[in-house]
């Protein structure tokens, strides 16, 4: 019923075609796609530059956490991803000498 109410409100202002178009993802050509990708890349680089050292470290630790969780869920052994590999990555992220850990 709620959907009908929303549709009826939209119907007062828009045609059926306009309503349908508003829910569709518009097609883009390759030039527009490249421009959008460039803008996204530029924005991400700007955000990375604005991040503090602590924020960058937290971001990398969260990424490592997700990688470890994915590895455990995968249930297949890999010689490239062992406990030691994840530990080395952790050590490099927190930037501490091995003797301190």
Q: What is the pTM of this model?
A: 0.55
How far is 67 from 94, CA to CA, in rounded Å?
16
How far is 61 from 6, CA to CA, in rounded Å?
43
Closest CA to 86 of 61, 58, 55, 53: 61
Structure confidence at residue 80 as a pLDDT band (50, 70, 90): confident
If asked whether residues 46 and 1 sit together in one domain, one would say yes
If asked whether residues 45 and 66 sit together in one domain, one would say no
How far is 13 from 68, CA to CA, in rounded Å?
51
If asked whether residues 40 and 56 sit together in one domain, one would say no
If asked whether residues 45 and 3 sit together in one domain, one would say yes
pLDDT of 85 higher than 80: yes
If asked whether residues 72 and 28 sit together in one domain, one would say no
13 vs 69 pLDDT, higher one: 69
Contacts for 68 with CB less than 8 Å, ≥ 6 apart: 86
If asked whether residues 19 and 44 sit together in one domain, one would say yes
pLDDT tens digits along 19-70 = 777 776 667 678 888 899 999 999 999 999 999 999 999 999 999 999 999 9
Q: In the chain, count of helices (H) and strands (E)?
A: 5, 0
pLDDT of 98 higher than 70: no
């Amino acid at each position: 019923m709620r959907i009908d109410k929303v549709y009826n409100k939209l119907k007062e202002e828009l045609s059926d075609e306009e309503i349908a178009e508003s829910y569709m993802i518009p097609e883009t050509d390759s030039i527009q796609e490249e421009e959008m990708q460039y803008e996204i890349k530029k924005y991400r680089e700007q955000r990375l530059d604005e991040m503090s050292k602590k924020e960058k470290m937290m971001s990398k630790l969260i990424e490592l956490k997700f990688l470890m969780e994915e590895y455990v869920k995968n249930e297949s052994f890999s010689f490239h991803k062992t406990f030691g590999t994840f530990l080395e990555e952790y050590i490099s992220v927190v930037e501490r000498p091995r003797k301190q850990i």
